[in-house]
Amino acid sequence: MIQNPLEAWIFNKTGGRSVREYQLEKLKETLRLVCANSVFYRKHYGDFDIDGVKSFENFEKLPFVTAEDLILFGSQMLCVPQNEIERIVTLQTSGTVGTPKRVYFTAEDQELTIDFFNIGMRCLIDEKDSFMILLPYKTPGSVGDLLMKGLERIGCGVYPYGLIEDYKHAGWFMTKNNITSLVGNPIHVLKLAELAKIHGFDIKLNSILLTTDYVPDAIAKRLAALWQCKVYEHYGMTETCFGGGVYCERRKGYHMREADLYFEIISESGEALPDGEYGEVVFTTLTRTGMPLVRYRTGDYGRFKKERCDCGGELKLMEKIKRRVSGGVSIGGREFYIGDFDEMLFSWDFVIDYSLELREGKINIEIVTPDNIETNAVPERLTKRMILIND
């Protein structure tokens, strides 16, 4: 049976206690922390009896925190003095008059993520690998920087590259450094694979980790075929300090970072749902001190599987996230999400990107293809499918 490195890590972090027992204790600690130190949470909870939270059922009665709260009251959520904040990530939003969303981290908060990256990446690489990072890494505390530090603890070769501007150069870089594994955005990595094939680069990968965006199954299958390697996925966001969950060797869902984060799935009405039912993903930080988030609504739509992973692990297994809670468009009485178009269009091996515009109830799609394929070379079957959607 495959040994999942996250299991031993969680066991050590929890001190051998059950995950549920550990998480409940950490939830109580987090609530005491935020009520003692955060202006926002003291107002947010009002007269709610925090000391009365003695079970998960009690905890589930607490109000949620939303992205709008983060925009409007982010600095009031801090639980440490400003001079202890090591990193502030600013995210532009379409929220309240375009006010940016800011997330604050201490050095200790970032160390928690480095530790998770160190362990989680062992699911797909070891010290013999040469790993290429196709993410921003030059800013201290950026996702690429934290990942680089986690990888260095594994002892593998680490090759930070950043976002790709010249795909031919990136292919040359991979060949020159004998890259055996990499991480990047799904579409960027797909473009790299297709153009590396066109330019004749001899690249042999063992694994790929796709992150920062929704991963269409169609892209994962194409990459696995193009590079004859295993394709892994990661779940996380800035609010989780990037690390949230990762595929193990079996690649059947995300093994969650349960020692640092407590996850829930909730219904439209805000009720906690049991494993197996779909709803919105909500999380609470368990070990962060800079800006703890309690019952933060992610806007992602997913579920926990009822069964455990056949890697033998006991951690909860979250099914891959396929869409957001909102953001669908109604066409011909049917609801479509961007993932539906991803799966349809990326299933064609000449499509490496596309843009989509909804106008007067019809969808216009512009396809991007590799250099040696004409943009208008759209198979008749795809043309008919596009007409069907427009109708």
User: Is 376 part of any domain?
Assistant: yes
Number of domains in the chain: 1
Q: Name the residue type at position 288.
A: R
What pLDDT is attached to residue 373?
46
Report pLDDT for 388.
46
Flag whether pLDDT at 382 surpasses 70. Answer: no
CA gap 182, 130 in Å, rounded: 8
* pLDDT tens-digit series, residues 136-156: 999 999 999 999 999 999 999
For residue 212, what pLDDT band results from cuts at 50, 70 and 90?
confident
Residue 215 domain-assigned (yes or no): no
- Confidence (pLDDT) at 3: 67
> Which pLDDT score, from 0 to 100, does residue 367 have?
84
Please indicate, yes or no, if residue 363 is contained in any of the structural domains: yes
Domain annotation covers residue 365: yes
- Counting residues of the chain whose pLDDT is more than 70, the rounded percentage is 90
Residue 367 lies in a domain: yes
Confidence of residue 121 (pLDDT cuts 50, 70, 90): very high
At 307-342, the pLDDT tens digits run 888 887 778 899 998 888 876 776 666 777 778 888
| pLDDT per residue as tens digits for the range 240-294 | 999 999 998 899 899 999 999 999 999 999 999 999 999 999 999 999 999 999 9
pTM as predicted: 0.90
114 vs 348: which has the higher pLDDT? 114
Q: What is the mean pLDDT of residues 45-53?
A: 89
Domain residues for the domain of 335 are: 329-390
pLDDT, tens digit (0-9, with 9 covering 90-100), for 65-81: 999 999 999 999 999 99
Q: What is the dihedral of CA 198, 202, 206, 211, to 10 degrees?
A: -40
Provide the pLDDT for residue 88.
95
Over residues 355-380, the pLDDT tens digits come to 888 776 677 888 888 754 444 455 55
Q: Does 357 map to a domain?
A: yes
Would you state the pLDDT for residue 16?
87
Q: Encoding tokens for residue 327?
A: 């953001």
User: 244 in a domain, yes or no?
Assistant: no
Stretch among 8-17, 90-99, 146-155 having the lowest mean pLDDT: 90-99
Q: What is the mean pLDDT of residues 216-230?
A: 95
Q: Does 125 score more than 80 pLDDT?
A: yes
**pLDDT value at 387 more than 70:** no
Residue 5 lies in a domain: no
| pLDDT at residue number 35 | 95
pLDDT score, position 21: 95
* Each residue's pLDDT tens digit, 168-196: 999 999 999 999 999 999 999 999 999 99
At 106-119, the pLDDT tens digits run: 999 999 999 999 99
